[in-house]
Amino acid sequence: MLTNLSNVLRACAQRNGAAVVMSARTYADFTTQATFEVKKCDLFKLEEGPATQVVMTRDEGLQYYRTMQTMRRMELKADQLYKQKIIRGFCHLYDGQEACAVGIEASINLSDHLITAYRAHGYTLTRGGTVKEIMAELTGRRGGIAKGKGGSMHMYCKHFYGGNGIVGAQVPLGAGVALACKYQGNNELCVCLYGDGAANQGQIFETYNMAALWKLPVIFICENNRYGMGTSVERAAASTDYFKRGEFIPGLRVDGMDILCVREATRFAADHCRSGKGPILMELQTYRYHGHSMSDPGVSYRTREEIQEVRSKSDPISLLKDRMLSNNMASVEELKEIDVEVRKEIEDAAQFATTDPEPPLEDLCNHIFSNNPPLDVRGTNPWSKLKSVS
């Protein structure tokens, strides 16, 4: 009888034609949800903050784990392809910061809006892009999410506005998206992300002012990974309390290495915006394992020991994994099977990204406008013409 039950469970666990390897325990043996204590957020101009007792279901935990592992493996593969000179140009990797993107996405809707800077691969994934599309964009192929014409810094999908190369320039654009949300009265909001290196930009403070005046539904999020390029925050900013920079905008400082802490803080911030109270500012204290970009080895301004200490004590994936295992929400075998599936997905995407054709020259000027009739675009001189098709 038990043998038959095991066979039925294995058959039900089929996914994409391959059986998911399970431990000797059945799903009924696992805890379906558990309550966790998370670090209290520092508050600015707020009487109360996000909950510190949070609930996570087993299904949520497995999905968070899969998504963060996919991000991690995708970035490590990008590192490999860059060193092989298959990916060229600017390339800023997100490994170490996965809890930020996945935690934020867990508390907003896909109909909400998000804009970020040039460390954008992770957000492209959470906003709906596929690993195959992202990897093909990195290698400049037709199957890329921007058809091979955007590269690492310029990826887009529905309700995701990039991927922006100019430091801090995405912040006023995000406020403009939030203004559209308010104007249309659709109860949507915009998450507007920037790094600690951009936090001293004047245009950001101008945007704070307008967003507060007009009570725009925007969550400003500073991903503080402790270094703006090769400069530590202590050497770059007179005040490193980035969550207080809004002055007249309430703020939160959040443990950005803990996905549950990020999730609850974002949920709190989203409720604040949707209730008509205007903008809110979040500082996520996080860390990048790679250098600023692939041209930066990342060890001339910080020690290898510092990086290793963060990896061993604060890694967001390890933290989630330990929580799930210690609360009987998953088995080691189950998580290892997810790792195997993720690695295969990454390898398949890398194979596609290195064999898909590059876009032809005649595609160069396409998609300048949306839903416009074809038009001529000047080439490299006044006598050469290229066609643009929407």
pLDDT by residue (tens digit) across 253-294?
A: 999 999 999 999 999 999 999 999 999 999 999 999 999 999
What is the pLDDT, as a whole number, of residue 26? 63
Same domain? 318 vs 365:
no
Same domain? 369 vs 241:
no
| Banded model confidence at residue 229, pLDDT cuts 50, 70, 90 | very high
- Using CB atoms within 10 Å of the CB of residue 239, give its burial: 0 to 12 exposed, 13 to 18 middle, 19+ buried: exposed
Cα 162 to Cα 153: distance, rounded to the nearest angstrom: 7
Strands 227-228, 231-232: parallel, antiparallel or unpaired by DSSP? antiparallel
CATH number of the structural domain spanning residue 321: 3.40.50.970
| 41 inside domain | yes
| 17 inside domain | no
Strands 251-255, 280-285: parallel, antiparallel or unpaired by DSSP? parallel
- At 299, list the tokens: 């060890």
Taking only the tens place, the pLDDT of each residue in 324-350 is 999 999 999 999 999 999 999 999 999
**Percentage of the chain lying above the pLDDT 70 cut:** 93
Same domain? 113 vs 226:
yes
Of residues 173, 179, 221, the one with CA closest to residue 198: 221
| 237 inside domain | yes
Q: What is the mean pLDDT of residues 157-173?
A: 96
What is the pLDDT, as a whole number, of residue 239? 95
Same domain? 89 vs 226:
yes
Note down the domain range covering 283. 33-359
Same domain? 163 vs 221:
yes
CA dihedral 247, 253, 256, 260 (to 10 degrees): -120
| 1 inside domain | no
What is the pLDDT, as a whole number, of residue 8? 36
| 196 inside domain | yes
**What is the DSSP secondary-structure string of 59-91?**
HHHHHHHHHHHHHHHHHHHHHHHHHTTSS-S--
What is the pLDDT, as a whole number, of residue 157? 95
Same domain? 234 vs 382:
no
Of residues 167, 229, 174, 161, the one with CA closest to residue 198: 167
Report whether pLDDT(14) > 60: no
Same domain? 97 vs 214:
yes
Same domain? 340 vs 381:
no
| 282 inside domain | yes
What is the pLDDT, as a whole number, of residue 7? 44
Overall domain count for the chain: 2
Cα 273 to Cα 188: distance, rounded to the nearest angstrom: 9
Report whether pLDDT(249) > 60: yes
Could you tell me which residues come within 8 angstroms of residue 152 by beta carbon, excluding any fewer than 6 positions away? 78, 87, 89, 90, 91, 92, 118, 120, 121, 137, 138
Same domain? 374 vs 256:
no
| 11 inside domain | no
| 223 inside domain | yes
Same domain? 231 vs 297:
yes
Q: What are the Cα distances from residue 16, in Å, to 23, 99, 260, 302?
A: 19, 27, 29, 44
Same domain? 98 vs 192:
yes
Cα 140 to Cα 151: distance, rounded to the nearest angstrom: 6
Taking only the tens place, the pLDDT of each residue in 64-74 is 999 999 999 99
Same domain? 273 vs 370:
no
